[in-house]
Amino acid sequence: MSRISLVVAAALVICIPDSTPRARISCLPLSKTQANGGIQPILVVDGSPVHRVGNLYVHASNWGAIGSMPGSGMPFQDAPSAEWPAGSGVNYLFVAGLWVGALVHGAPAVSTSAYELEFRPSSDTRDIVYQTWYGADHGARIPANPDDDRDGVADEDPLDGYDNDHDGTVDEDFAGVSDQMMTRYFRDDQPGVTDLYPQHVPMHLGVREDSYAFAEPAYDDFVGFTFTITNTGADTLQNVYIGMMADGDVGLASRPNYWLDDAAAVASIPVDLGAHGVATYSFPYWRDADGDGGTAAGRCGFVLLDHTVDPSGIDAPGEVSLHSWTHFRGGASFEDGGDPTNDFERYEAMSSGVLAAPLGLGDVRTLMSVGPFPTMLPGKSLTFALALVVTPDDSSNVARAVEAYQGQWFDLDHNPATGVGGMEHQEHWYLPTDKPSPVWFAGFAAGPDGGAVKLQWLVVTDQSLDRIDVLRAPAAGGTPVTVATLPGNRREFVDTSLPSGGRYLYSVVASGRNGAQASSPWLEVSVQDLPTTFWLSSPNPFRESTTISAHFAESANVDLSVFDVAGRRVTTLASGPRNPGEGIFVWNGTDDGGRRVAAGVYFCRLEVGDKIFHEKLVVLR
């Protein structure tokens, strides 16, 4: 994981300078909050938070705005703004932003990320943009064990620079998703916001925004967004709506007035979800009406993927659905189709329940909304998931975005009667081509066993494991070594190969299909120096061969032989000087002449210096 590089503490006001022909709203001076002594938010304005692993590049801020506002004069204006295809220089978006509206004590209030920057990060230097990916350290997700810190709670410490679970460690248990995931947190009640926007009514909303991009060629034409909106205040909010305002400008910035020939509409896209049937998704989009000679032939918009639902319809809509979609044109009053300029007009647009007719040529802004959520109690959270997509006219990339959001289903309760086909748990934002390995360690123990170390482990998996590797390293530091590679069904091991006593670290690695691995935590074991020891042979009794183990505490002359019950030497397995350490010897049940011995009882005699050890062996035929 990483932190996006540069942060700027500034009272940035989202606006367009009057010197440009794009001017749409008036701005307060950037120095107003400073003049009033307000606390400055940490705004990432260097253009660095950009999703750029796929075929759609887009800037994503830490205050809920999406897009770089090309030509606006903002510090980040040159960052990609829904550039598609990647590297083409053709942008499809000026800016988009989260809107949340509600009735506060009966009066409409709407908090916005664009154009007004009423949502903001705090002044804490940690409230920036964080970046991670699927497979990152501390970012495990189902079907692997999502409890990275093994405290019994999964993903309780999201990637945000804070010690959310108060265990003294920061960002040690979160879910890493997609090839490029960004996460950030912002609020609508930061100090100084009402100085900039006197009509703003803070609703005390905290928002965690996660966004996801993929590098897989079939799934790289969209960026997914999930907003988790929490009422952190003391008041209950009534008739809540959540929306996305988008100012979609399509074309090359070098084309004069390229934003004046766009059109907008809403499409309903059926998507085959396999065993879960066919579902229809709303895709409000905009496009360049003439395609700019083929350079801007795509349709760009936000496909509605999900939001909080209540099947009873009491606390939320009964199913995922688009409540309202409308569009605005600059220069006109709100009554005549222009931009809303206050919270009463914004709330009216969000709550109207009207899906507007398609809009022809013009400088188009659109607003989609979901809801209503009748009451949002203090502490309650709502979710809103969508994907920014650019697609050909066949809407194929919309279907790919839906497939990615649908993710994969897993059998966690091992009950074939639950879910569809026994799969009852859904994990969003897995690609159909992903093959996550459902393996994790539910238990691991290591302790001294004489002069050896005994390891035992419990692995939770719904597949056969390829192998188990046992790793050992000196506790004082050093490179781990693999001391044993075992069959995948083994659940214990005794390490008799210690070079000497001391403190050692052990870990066990389980390897599943497709090269996926799960590792146990490292455990430290203290072992006393092992005296010369003769270990039991295995197997015993045996038919073909048996393995005999010994540990030599020091260099010595060694004689290891097999005798019959009459005391006659049958064969010699080892004779001569031996260095300290483990010795492994195999008897294949033959005498010194290579003849197979008869079934019966034999004795293995180990002579080490002045010490003698015996073990009884039984040969079966």
The pLDDT value given to residue 12: 46
Both tokens assigned to 164? 């959310």
- Using one digit for the tens of pLDDT, what is the confidence trace for 195-217? 999 999 999 999 999 999 999 99
- Using one digit for the tens of pLDDT, what is the confidence trace for 11-66? 444 443 333 334 333 333 332 223 233 445 689 999 999 999 999 999 999 999 99
Q: How far apart are CA 94 and CA 108, in angstroms?
A: 27
Q: How far apart are CA 212 and CA 427, in angstroms?
A: 14
DSSP three-state, residue 398: helix
In the chain, % of residues over pLDDT 90: 66
Which of 11-20, 170-179, 275-284, 366-375 is predicted least confidently? 11-20
Backbone angles phi, psi at 73, to 5 degrees: 90, 0
Is residue 45 within 8 A of residue 10, CB to CB? The reply is yes
> What mean pLDDT comes out for the span 498-502?
77
Measured in residues, the chain has a length of: 621
Stronger pLDDT, 402 or 146, i.e. the higher one: 402
Which of 69-78, 126-135, 491-500 is predicted least confidently? 491-500
The pLDDT confidence band at residue 1, using thresholds 50, 70 and 90, is very low
What's this model's pTM, rounded to 2 decimal places? 0.72
The pLDDT value given to residue 441: 78
The pLDDT value given to residue 438: 65
Both tokens assigned to 250? 């399509």
Is residue 99 within 8 A of residue 346, CB to CB? The reply is yes
Q: How far apart are CA 325 and CA 268, in angstroms?
A: 13
Question: Domains plus CATH for the chain?
Answer: 2-134+177-405 (2.70.98.10), 439-527 (2.60.40.10), 533-619 (2.60.40.4070)
- Using one digit for the tens of pLDDT, what is the confidence trace for 77-135? 999 999 999 999 999 999 999 999 999 999 999 999 999 999 999 999 999 999 999 98
The pLDDT value given to residue 128: 94
Which of 344-358, 381-395, 469-483, 539-553 is predicted least confidently? 539-553
Which element (helix H / strand E) includes 454? strand 452-461
Both tokens assigned to 170? 């920061």
The pLDDT confidence band at residue 355, using thresholds 50, 70 and 90, is very high
